[in-house]
Amino acid sequence: MRKLIVANYKMNGDKKLFKQIVKKINKIKLRDTKVVLCPPFIYLNEFKIKNNIVSIGSQDITNDENSKSTGQISAKMLLEHDVKYVIVGHSERRKIGENDKLINQKINVCLNNFLMPIICVGEEKKTDKLDIVLSQIKNALDSINKNFVPIIAYEPVWSIGTGKLPSINRIDKMIDMIKSFLKTIGYNESLVLYGGSVGLDNYKEIIKSKIDGLLLGGVSLRIDKFIKILKGIDNE
């Protein structure tokens, strides 16, 4: 099954680094893997992609199309930079005040402008009580068209950047639970990605789980390691 690998560069990198990344990513050949690169807004113009298996994503989007919204980035602006995907609801955005209602509005903005949202969900602490994840999904997709295929990025917050990973059994349990829940609310097809402390040393184990792809952070900045991961996944 084709995997979707998303690179979230967060507030990292510079023009020199991203030029190197684009140069190498344009040369990569993959048979069965789709790649999405999400740079900081200010560097979108550096991502001149000539590789049809690679798309550009944004790390965020405004929920407000009012042109008086100082500091916001609109869907129209993203489309002018050939953006196809948008990360929505990342835990780091939630920590600074984004709530489910705002995330739902951003998803609507994405779909109204033919952008594909990558919807981030995940529990703060390691626990067996995972209803919070389903609640995040339910609220994010409230009144959202049932004809699109949701992309859910499951990122347990306690795993992001800590080196601590859920077991494969736990990841599989989450994938099954999320997909089953999506079906109960009317989405028969979905993609569920995993994110959180994935690196060159552990991606092979994780990719054998039921996930449809990965949301990668720090390792995506190390282009040689990132390409090794992409090729390794493509050869599975």
Query: 78-131: per-residue pLDDT in tens?
Result: 999 999 999 999 999 999 999 999 999 999 999 999 999 999 999 988 876 778
Q: How far is CA 50 from CA 22, 28, 78, 189, 206, in A?
A: 9, 10, 18, 29, 29
Of 80, 124, 155, 236, which residue is the catalytic one? 155
Q: How many CB atoms lie within 10 A of CB 1?
A: 8
pLDDT-based confidence at residue 144 (cuts at 50, 70, 90): very high
Of 90, 92, 98, 123, which residue is the catalytic one? 90
| pLDDT given for residue 67 in this prediction | 73
| pLDDT given for residue 164 in this prediction | 87
- pLDDT of residue 230 exceeding 70, the answer is yes
- 80 in catalytic set: no
3-class secondary structure, 5: strand
CATH number at residue 102: 3.20.20.70
Tally of domains in the chain: 1
Q: Which strand (E) or helix (H) includes residue 36?
A: strand 33-38
Give CA–CA dist 170/124, Å, rounded: 15
- 189 in catalytic set: no
Mean pLDDT of the residues in the chain:
94
Residue with structure tokens 């084709």? 2
| pLDDT given for residue 160 in this prediction | 84
Give CA–CA dist 200/94, Å, rounded: 28
Give CA–CA dist 220/87, Å, rounded: 15
Q: Name the DSSP class of 166.
A: -
Give CA–CA dist 235/204, Å, rounded: 11
Radius of gyration (C-alpha) of the chain in whole angstroms: 17
Give CA–CA dist 192/123, Å, rounded: 15
Structural domain of residue 219, as residue ranges?
A: 3-234
